[in-house]
Amino acid sequence: MKKLRIFKSHRLNRSVAGNGLLFFLMGIFGVLMALPLVMIVNNALKPLDELFQYPPRLFVRNPTLDNFVDLFVAMNSSWVPFSRYLLNTVIITVGGTAGHVILASLAAYPLSKHRFKGKDTLFNLVVLSMMFSWTVTQIPNYMIISWLGINNTYLALILPACSYGMGLYLMKQFMDQLPNSLMESARLDGAGEFRVYMTIVMPNVKPAWLTLAIFQFQQMWGNTGAMFLRDEELKPLQFALQQIAAGGTARAGASAAVTFIIAAIPITFFLICQSNVLETMTTSGMKE
């Protein structure tokens, strides 16, 4: 019996039927989740008469790019060109994501790997702050933003996002799992704290900060900024979408095209980051 097991042990102990069932389940969930996206893609390619067809069809019959042309023509003749909205969103998203990942991982390193006074209090405060919903603290937030004098600038959206608690929490949890001996050996070799952070800690928690980047990118991308940005030329894409969608029937084609653009970019970002997560080799080279 023992021998048999050794021979088989390079394969997973799962029957073909079990695998089939798992993939079947995954397929069902996958289809459920992919449906809205399929709808978005097809709607963006539908000519107007198909958009209003009854009963509605999921798949497009005569795909055209009319909606995109419509979008750019319609929006470029308006007050603020469409590309400006896109640029605003990109600035806000990149700023908020990069800032948050950098600040949160910097702060998470000592919280996870150093011992000093006030550490636990600080960390508990972080967890407490996450419980505090953004929607409810809108009034104090607005007051703070205008007190800082950054109302109606990109900073009003970027700065609060940089110091959100969730990223710090996530990074700390992942850094907790790094073996201390890795850092000790670097210190013995004469590396300063910042060097340890840059060359030892960050490469080893790459899956964590890529995850955080995905997460934060998505959050920033979905921001309408309606509260803080008043100037039309500062407003992000999501705001433009709301405006176009509010246009109703007349703008249905343009609205479908914008929805496609808005959904496509975070998905692309996700795909790039995820394929990088796979390439990481973690906590290798340890001999205990």
Site for other proteins in 95-124 (CB under 8 A): 103-104, 106-107, 109-111, 114-117, 119, 122
Classify residue 13 as exposed, middle or buried by CB count within 10 Å of its CB (0-12, 13-18, 19+): exposed
| 190 contributes a contact to other proteins by CB under 8 A | no
Residues 90, 91, 141, 151: which binds other proteins (CB under 8 A)?
Answer: 141
CB of 131 to other proteins, least distance (A): 5
| 199 contributes a contact to other proteins by CB under 8 A | no
Q: List all residues 6 or more positions away from 117 whose beta carbon is below 8 Å from its beta carbon.
A: none
Residues 16, 32, 62, 79: which binds other proteins (CB under 8 A)?
Answer: 32
Q: Using CB under 8 A, which of the segments 63-71, 79-87, 90-98, 213-221 binds other proteins?
A: 213-221
Are 222 and 96 within 8 A, CB to CB? Answer: no
Site for other proteins in 225-264 (CB under 8 A): 238-239, 241-242, 245-246, 248-249, 252, 255-256, 258-259, 262-263
Amino acid at 97: T
Q: List all residues 6 or more positions away from 264 whose beta carbon is below 8 Å from its beta carbon.
A: none
Residues 214, 228, 234, 235: which binds other proteins (CB under 8 A)?
Answer: 214
> Binding mask 43-62 vs other proteins (x if CB under 8 A, - otherwise)?
x-------xxxxxx------
Residues 144, 149, 203, 230: which binds other proteins (CB under 8 A)?
Answer: 144
Exposure string (b/e) for 15-53, b if CB count within 10 Å is 16 or more? eeeeeeeeeeeeeeeeeeeeeeeeebbbbbbbbeebbee
- Cα–Cα distance, 237 to 258 (Å, whole number): 8
| 222 contributes a contact to other proteins by CB under 8 A | yes
- Cα–Cα distance, 192 to 197 (Å, whole number): 9
